[in-house]
Amino acid sequence: MDFLVGGGWERVVGGESGAEVFRRGGVYAKCCSVEGIAELRGERDRVGWLAGTGIPGAEVVDWIESEGGAALLTTAVPGVGGGELPASRRAADSLAGIVKALHEVPVAECPFERRVDDVIGQAGDVVRRGVVEPDFLTDEWRLVPPERLLAGLYAELAEVKAKADLVVCHGDACLPNFLFDPDTLECTGMIDVGRLGIADRYADLALLKAQLEDEWALDATEFLTTYGLAEPDGQRLTFYRLLDSLSWASAALE
């Protein structure tokens, strides 16, 4: 993006948001067009808020906004993304600890919400436009029309909402968004918190369970037990995993 100050910026590959990410030294710059400014501004506010909670993560360095778009500059969190690590029980235990710590931040202190009604509405928009990302669906779900998958979520929505246990959630709790010390395998912090907000804790746990099983081929039972959930709610684990899968639009289909 031409509104980044100075040279030496290296493009970083990865991410699903559609924003462009660059790195220079110990600073990352996430850049967007005019259409994405409001969303990126929301991420800026969440990064700043999280930095004040004691939960390890990035800090805001600068915010640049112009007629052409905006850039959010943040500090780099030390370590490597969980997606780059081999399967590790120790890393999974450390991950459980930092997620638990986030979920224990008092909800009264969090100014952001990620209401399930809003997320299912977002999923509905993705489904109606026919741009569901097939890579985020299980083999079984790919055999079902997205409209039927969405209808199933709506059928369970009232029951799931009645059981909700609201906490401060990451909102996109996938392995690449958690950093680890490659030597100690301790979790060093979290990134990409643009979806952070008050939500049912299962919104994070469902995605993490799927990631640990699919990416690390680990039994997530130990992770959930370490987190403090010895008897997880299977309905909500399935509901929130499918909801997340339907809420991402495929860039290739748009």
Contact between 38 and 169 under an 8 Å Cβ cutoff? The reply is: no
Buried b (16+ CB within 10 A) or exposed e, 150-186: beebeeeeeebeeebebbbbbbbbbbbbbbbeeeebb
Residue 45 annotated as catalytic: no
Q: Quick one: residue 227, left, alpha or beta (phi over 0 = left, psi -120 to 50 = alpha)? A: alpha
Q: Single out the catalytic residue among 172, 192, 204, 244.
A: 172
- 73 closest CA partner among 145, 4, 16, 13: 4
How many degrees, rounded to 5, is the angle at CA 152 between CA 250 and CA 159?
120
Catalytic residues: 172
